[in-house]
Amino acid sequence: MVNAMDVYAEHLCEHCVLIRVGAVGPFPAPYRYSVTFIDRDGYAEPVGFDRKGFDPAEFEPVIRHVNEVTGKLVAYWRAGPPPYRMIQKDPVSTGGKIVMVRG
């Protein structure tokens, strides 16, 4: 499991953020893997992973970090059939918990 100090964010442009999991500083600091998020429809949406698979135990700290750095909630597409979109509920309304709902 990763804590907030193990996640590092770099803004690639005004609409794109690269999250490095397991990093304590900017590239070329070592890291376990990275996830790229873009601003799409007002949400931060993951669009690229540098490896397959994502440890579910690390999902919450990554989302929290993305919320903090971008100021946006997270949304992503789950494999179907048919594919469907998961959207993060505002943590203010969930008591600070990360809750994803089918959108």
Classify residue 53: in a domain, yes or no: yes
Classify residue 26: in a domain, yes or no: yes
What is the total count of domains within the chain? Answer: 1
The arithmetic mean of pLDDT across residues 93-102, rounded, is 94
pLDDT at 24: 77
Tokens 């959108």, residue located: 103
Classify residue 18: in a domain, yes or no: yes
pLDDT at 53: 66
Which residues form the domain of 16?
Answer: 4-73
Classify residue 56: in a domain, yes or no: yes
List of residues 6+ apart from 88 with CB closer than 8 A? 43, 63, 67, 73, 74, 75, 98, 99, 100, 101
**Each residue's pLDDT tens digit, 46-97:** 888 887 766 777 788 888 888 988 899 999 998 888 999 999 999 999 999 9
